């Protein structure tokens, strides 16, 4: 499952799918990044992978009893998603939300205006929600709420 199509999140998709038989999943807007990888800055070759599951807004992915709801959160890439486990209060935020920050918007597919909207929509989540980003330390919505509100209220990413 890919939160988005950058090389550091898809580099092993083909190997994992082959080894485990698991389906590869990605939002349709990042599908081409998996089928035709362009490994900008990657230190190794990225083999293509074929997504079998579309991580569409509002969709659900199940692992046993765990239900992950797909939140389309463009900004880092056009197909960036977060995966929300409402029952457990968990958010796997990929590179949309980090502890104290957000994913880059200056790489191909990035859009600062879309990132502002995506970050603002995460404010709908409860303070108790624990956030597991694609990089760095975990955090909570309570910890991130003050600066997220500033981003939403100012309508721009903070310097």
Spans of all domains in the chain: 7-154
pTM of the shown model: 0.94
Q: Which residues of 79-113 are buried (b: 16+ CB within 10 A; e: fewer)?
A: bbbbbbbeeebbbbbbbbbbeeebbebeeebbbee
User: Which CATH number applies to 7-154?
Assistant: 3.60.15.10
Report yes or no: 80 and 118 within 8 Å, Cβ to Cβ. Answer: yes
Report yes or no: 47 and 17 within 8 Å, Cβ to Cβ. Answer: no
List pLDDT tens digits, range 54-94.
Answer: 999 999 999 889 999 999 999 999 999 999 999 999 999 99
List pLDDT tens digits, range 37-54.
Answer: 987 777 888 899 999 999
Measured between alpha carbons, how far is residue 143 from residues 22, 73, 139, 156, 159 in Å? 34, 20, 7, 19, 19
SS3 47: coil
């Amino acid at each position: 499952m890919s939160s988005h199509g950058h090389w550091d999140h898809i580099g092993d998709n083909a190997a994992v799918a082959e080894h485990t038989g698991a389906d590869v999943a990605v939002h349709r807007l990042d599908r081409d990044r998996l089928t035709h990888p362009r490994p900008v800055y990657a230190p190794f070759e990225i083999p293509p992978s074929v997504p079998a599951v579309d991580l569409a807004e509002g969709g659900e992915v199940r692992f046993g009893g765990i239900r992950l709801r797909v939140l389309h959160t463009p900004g880092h890439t056009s197909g960036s998603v977060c995966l929300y486990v409402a029952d457990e209060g968990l958010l796997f935020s990929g590179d949309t939300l980090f502890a104290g920050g957000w994913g880059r918007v200056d790489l191909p597919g990035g859009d600062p205006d879309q990132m502002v909207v995506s970050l603002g929509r995460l404010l709908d989540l409860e303070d108790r929600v624990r956030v597991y980003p694609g990089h760095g330390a975990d955090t909570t919505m309570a910890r991130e709420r003050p600066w997220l509100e500033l981003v939403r209220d100012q309508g721009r990413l903070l310097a």
